[in-house]
Structure formats: C-alpha cells, structure tokens
Amino acid sequence: TRVDVGIVGGGPAGLMTALLLKRRGISAAVIESRSEETIRHTQRAGILEAPTVNMLVEAEVDSRVLTHGHEHEGTVLSFDGIQRRIDFQALVGRSVWLYPQNEVFHDLATAWQRESGEIHWSVTETAVEGIETAAPRISFTDAQGRARRIEADLIIGTDGSRSMCRKLIPEDIRTDHFTSYPFAWFGILCEAPPTAPELIYANSEIGFALISQRNETVQRMYFQCDPDTDPEAWSEEAIFDHIQQVLGAEDGVQLKRGPIIEKTVLPFRSYVCDPLSHGRLALAGDAGHTVPPTGAKGLNLAFSDVRALVPRVEEFITELRTHAGVADASDETAASSDVAATAVTVETPEPLRRYSRTALDRVWKAQNFSYWATNLLHRQPEETSFTHKRRRGEFDAITDSVHGRAYFADSYTGWSD
C-alpha cells in the first residue's frame, strides 16, 4: 500500500488521527497488534474533557457521547470523610462527560471501517524503517500470515505506553523523563446502582479511593494498593469494606454494593518523551507520554496531541505535494527520485518540530496536574502524622478557597488550546 500517512496503533489516538486526516484529503492506513475485540473490552478511564467531546462531535463519527454519555458539572473531593464539592460550571463554566474510553474506541473504529479506511488488526512482526529518509515504511505480518508493507511520507506512532515507535528516535536526541510511584490502583467493575450523583475522589488514613460510574447498573471504583497486589487475594466483602472505610465508616457516603465482575491492578507512572517528532516520525498519545490515572488525563491528552498534530501534518503534506509537482515538471524521473528517497537523510520537517513544542507544553501542564492530584489524594508508604496533617492542610487550602477550587476545576475540565 502507498498512502500519505502510515499509523502504527489503532487505539483512540490513531483512529482519531486517521479520520481527521481523511477529512482533510490526506490518506492514512492503520495497523494494530491487538485484536479489535481485545481493545473493545479493555477497561480504561471514563472522563472526557469538553474539547475531547467536541472533537468526537465535530469528526462526525456518529458518536453516542451526547446521547449515552453523562454530563458532570462537578465532582466531590473527600478527606477523612469530609466532603467538598467542586462546581465546575460555577467556577470555570465547563463540564466533563462520563463516557467510557471503550465506547470512544467503538465509535471511531466503526466510523473508520464504515468509511472503508484501511486497518489491519492483530498484526505481528511490525517494523518501521527509514524514518530519517523521505521514504519511511512499515512492514508487518497481517492476521492471515501474509507479509505486507505500507509506504508513506510520514509515520505516526500511536502505539501506546510500550511504544516501539518511540525507540526509533535515536538516544542522543531523545530524553526520557520518568518518575514512578510507590503504589498502584485496584480497579473493580460491579453490578450496582450509582453510589452518588457525581464522582468522589477520597483520601483517608488508609489511602485513596475513587467512586466512578459506568451506567445505571454497572459502576467503576478504584482504591490505592501495593503494586504487587494479587487481585484474587481480595474478597468482594474486603474490597467494599475497605472503600467504605476510605469514605468514612458512619458519617461518610454509604457505598452501594453489588457483584464484582472485574478486578485489575493498574500501574502508576509518569513519562514524557522529548521530542515527539524526529525525521518522518511523530508520536501522539501514550506513545509519547504516560500519566498516572488520577484525573483521567490520558485519553484527553492523546486527543489534544491529535488536535495539535493534524493541522501540522496537513501543512507538511501540502508542502510535499507542491514540491513533488515542481520535481515532476523537471527532468528527474520517478524511478531515480524513489531510489534517492530511501537513501538520503532528511531533517525533521518544521511543522512537525512545531507540533512537538506545542503538544509538550500541554503535556507538562497535565503531567503536573496528574502528579499533584495523585500526591494530594494518596497515602505515602512511609507516612507520618505530620505528612497526613500537612496534606489535610493542603486539601483545606484548596477546597476552602474559590481560587483553589477554580485551579482544580480548570485543570480537571481541561484548558482551552
């Protein structure tokens, strides 16, 4: 296949990029190592910022976000059983939407396939070559075992937090900014009605819990645990008793319990790759950066990358087409320019350098918020009475002040571009 842009990774970032490029007359082909079914059933976060929702609506992919999603005009922060509401609408005039990421994936994958977009699921032996030349290409084995190739002018790596594309940026050019956390999240799905109308982010002397939602009959909850926790070692009763204790035993919100249908332990880390572009490769989403789950910034950040990237790709492809027109008009034959293309080293195109700079500015704002909210809401393993009381002071300073609440609301609902 010969396309303008080859995309490695068919999650929400890759599919949204492919669809938006197509809307601008730029062709794309997508490959993905997982099966469509696997991605569809992987539980991820469920909160969409307003700009993310706008992209789903404006991409005209028939997303059910406005019909099946739920608008949340605020959220509740709880500390040792004391609750404070953050009123997003009153503070910053924006809402977020509860709409699970697997639904976002479903909407985008359905739209791309309905529009006959090229996509290969369950591929193996993926290799990306020639990102420092004018003829980058992806080779892979498709689900039927056939060796295949995608030739493009640009490769976009949206291949998630264990990205192989990222490693193609040479080590002397790439900086990996990384931090780890001494805890993880235990996530459950249970069959129960919602405990409260809005999400509750809670801290306590036994650590963090988050009461989220999925729909009227299924709920999503998390609590802080050791990274090496075995989910099977926790009984249903122990899980709900623990979360109830985080919320406050008697005076706190009373948890609605029900059969647990999924248990998983989620890792916690922060990572940023700098730069996000090199030669004819650009990274977007988790491939370029990972945030801890507190605040649900992952997908939203991936979509803000895509918003920054798509116009720059258009600029680059347009420039390329203009030059190709000029080259065709000269004596150079197509064959000799093809040979040259695979051999000659190219610089990173200026629009893609600009993409990296703009996207990273927002990435670092979100990294800061996710890191800050994580530390505000979690218990450290070596916690003293000082650490806990100091954090209670921070919680009061934020929630007692309209400025503090506005800072939280502004960050949580997503900054305008």
Question: Which residues of the shown chain bind ligand DHB in the complex (CB under 6 A)?
Answer: 45-47, 199, 210, 212, 220, 293-296
Catalytic residue (one of 99, 181, 355, 412): 412
Q: How far is the CB of 292 from ligand DHB (least distance, A)?
A: 8
Nearer to ligand DHB by Cβ, of 1 and 161: the residue is 161
Beta-carbon count within 10 A of 383 CB: 13
Amino acid at 111: A
Q: How far is the CB of 181 from ligand DHB (least distance, A)?
A: 14
| Residue whose C-alpha is closest to residue 82's, from 400, 372, 406, 409 | 400
Look up residue 190 and give its two tokens: 């249970």
Q: Residue 85 has what DSSP assignment?
A: E
Q: How far is the CB of 124 from ligand DHB (least distance, A)?
A: 30
Catalytic residue (one of 292, 297, 349, 351): 297
Question: Is 389 an annotated catalytic residue?
Answer: no
Catalytic residue (one of 201, 263, 292, 351): 201
Residue 281 in contact with residue 157, Cβ under 8 Å? yes
Half-sphere exposure of 291 (CA within 13 A, CB side): 26
Nearer to ligand DHB by Cβ, of 174 and 242: the residue is 242
Q: What H or E segment, with its residue span, contains residue 70? A: strand 70-72
DSSP-H helix ranges across 87-235: 88-92, 101-114
Compute the distance between CA of residue 222 and CA of residue 189 in angstroms, rounded to an integer.
9
Q: How far is the CB of 326 from ligand DHB (least distance, A)?
A: 50
Q: How far is the CB of 93 from ligand DHB (least distance, A)?
A: 21
Look up residue 273 and give its two tokens: 């790759």
Integer distance in angstroms from the first to the last C-alpha of the chain? Answer: 35
Nearer to ligand DHB by Cβ, of 133 and 264: the residue is 264
At 18 the three-state DSSP class reads helix
Nearer to ligand DHB by Cβ, of 209 and 272: the residue is 209
Question: Is 297 an annotated catalytic residue?
Answer: yes
Nearer to ligand DHB by Cβ, of 303 and 355: the residue is 303
| Residue whose C-alpha is closest to residue 90's, from 78, 75, 77, 73 | 73
Nearer to ligand DHB by Cβ, of 154 and 209: the residue is 209
Catalytic residue (one of 12, 293, 349, 351): 293
Nearer to ligand DHB by Cβ, of 374 and 399: the residue is 374
Question: Is 412 an annotated catalytic residue?
Answer: yes
Residue 60 in contact with residue 110, Cβ under 8 Å? no
DSSP 264-311: EEE--EEEEEE-SEETTEEE-GGGTEE--STT--HHHHHHHHHHHHHH
Question: Is 271 an annotated catalytic residue?
Answer: no
Q: Give yes or no for a cis peptide into 275 (omega within 30° of 0).
A: yes
Look up residue 137 and give its two tokens: 């290409």
Question: Is 22 an annotated catalytic residue?
Answer: no
Compute the distance between CA of residue 99 and CA of residue 105 in angstroms, rounded to an integer.
11
Q: How far is the CB of 156 from ligand DHB (least distance, A)?
A: 25
Q: How far is the CB of 268 from ligand DHB (least distance, A)?
A: 11
Catalytic positions? 72, 201, 293, 297, 412
